[in-house]
Amino acid sequence: MPVLEIKKYPEPVLKQKALFVENIDGALQELIDDMIDTMYDAPGIGLAAPQVGESRRVIVVHVKLKEEAHPLIVLINPEIIQVDDKVVSEEGCLSVPGYVSNIERAGIVLVKGLDREGRPVEIEAEGLPARALQHEIDHLDGILFVDRMSPIKREFFRKRYLRKLKETA
């Protein structure tokens, strides 16, 4: 499977709300396989379809921690249906390379969606898996982790990041 190009901030597809998936067909299965390969190649722990230029509500997440192994998660049309606890932790993004910031998110989430075969699933996650699910679902709504920063930090980031992009162009 080919490794896809990861779109970088400020590409417009990253700020758009992704389209609801109506049909789970061979083309979608191929996209999911390509997203998984791209996530591992990056390397990352999650990837949303808009990050590879596809405006579809599809995410893949695979958190590997030394102390515990989490299964690969593929979700189509995911929704967060319950949150609990608040945790501030460092976060980064494959679409905003080289930048991290402390972001507040729920420490525990309950997410529903469809698996890659179209079967309804619910996933309860906490810690890093919960953070990754929230981060990737945000991408489906055109929200980047930098949008969750305070206005002052966000403006500082934008100026610094865009200046860096101009210098490397």
Which residues are catalytically annotated?
A: 136
Q: Among candidates 116, 94, 98, which has minimal Cα distance to 32?
A: 116
Distances (CA, A) of 146 to 49, 70, 102: 18, 26, 10
DSSP H or E segment with residue 86: strand 73-93
